[in-house]
Homo-oligomer: A and B are copies of this chain.
Amino acid sequence: MLTLAEENHLKAILSISLINPKKITTNAIAKEISISPASVSDMLKKLLEKKLIKYEKYQGVLLSKKGLTLATNILRKHRLWECFLVNKLKFDWAEVHDIAEQLEHIRSVKLIDKLDSYLNFPKYDPHGEPIPSKNGEFPKNKYTPLNKLCAGEKGKVMGVTIDEKSFLDYLTKLNINIGTNLHVLDIIIFDNSINVLIDDERTHISNDVAKHLLINKL
């Protein structure tokens, strides 16, 4: 049985490796969960002891099979709860991540099975993030980050890859939501920012934002 801290470390490792599937550094984990690298080092020893990670001192860390299963299940719970909060309780998409950070630690297999069924077995959460199945498989998506589109291309926003409130609130301010249609006007070479057309309105989007928007190209 995992403690809350152990679950949070495993989930952090998974989250980081979903973006960049390499060995994960102590510093990256520390940053992800806002604790000191020293504390992460301590925890890595415990997780290694429990065979949840592959780890050699100074050499970075990977999830073991067992660790991956457990971490994926936490992510599954997180995203299912986000669906519940948005689809059933009518929360705004920007409000649910922080609450799901708490709900994801509730322990009951039956609860998650029933929640999944109650929600009609969703494949994506309210941010377009894929929900792993019970046995840990992610639905494939073939979407392109907005920063990979070329001038002139058009597409529809299918999801984001960050679901923190500050990011989502900014998207809302830009009139971007899931389903929004975009038309890339031009790309500024200097900083890789782009000008897009949204609802006939010209909008400027930084590269940092664009790379977290998943687009279904027309």
Tell me the bound Cα distance from A95 to B111 in angstroms: 10
**Shortest distance in angstroms between A79's beta carbon and chain B's nearest beta carbon?**
17
Additional A-B contacts beyond A88-B118, A91-B110 (12; CB < 8 A): A85-B111, A89-B111, A89-B114, A89-B115, A89-B118, A90-B114, A91-B114, A95-B110, A99-B108, A102-B106, A103-B103, A103-B106
**Shortest distance in angstroms between A11's beta carbon and chain B's nearest beta carbon?**
17
- Asked if A31 CB lies within 8 Å of chain B CBs, one says no
**Shortest distance in angstroms between A82's beta carbon and chain B's nearest beta carbon?**
12
Contact string, A61-99, partner B, CB cutoff 8 A, digits 1/0?
A: 000000000000000000000000100111100010011
Q: Which residues of B contact A107 (CB under 8 A)?
A: 102
Q: Which residues of B contact A99 (CB under 8 A)?
A: 106, 108, 111
Which residues of A are at the interface with B, using a C-beta cutoff of 8 A?
85, 88-91, 95, 98-99, 102-103, 106-108, 110-111, 114-115, 118
Tell me the bound Cα distance from A60 to B95 in angstroms: 42
Tell me the bound Cα distance from A115 to B173 in angstroms: 28
12 A-B pairs within 8 Å (CB atoms) are namely A89-B114, A89-B115, A91-B110, A91-B114, A95-B110, A99-B106, A99-B108, A99-B111, A102-B106, A103-B103, A103-B106, A106-B106
Q: Which residues of B contact A118 (CB under 8 A)?
A: 88-89
Tell me the bound Cα distance from A114 to B95 in angstroms: 13
Q: Which residues of B contact A115 (CB under 8 A)?
A: 89
Of all chain B residues, which has the CB nearest A108? B99
Q: Which residues of B contact A110 (CB under 8 A)?
A: 91, 95
Of all chain B residues, which has the CB nearest A90? B114
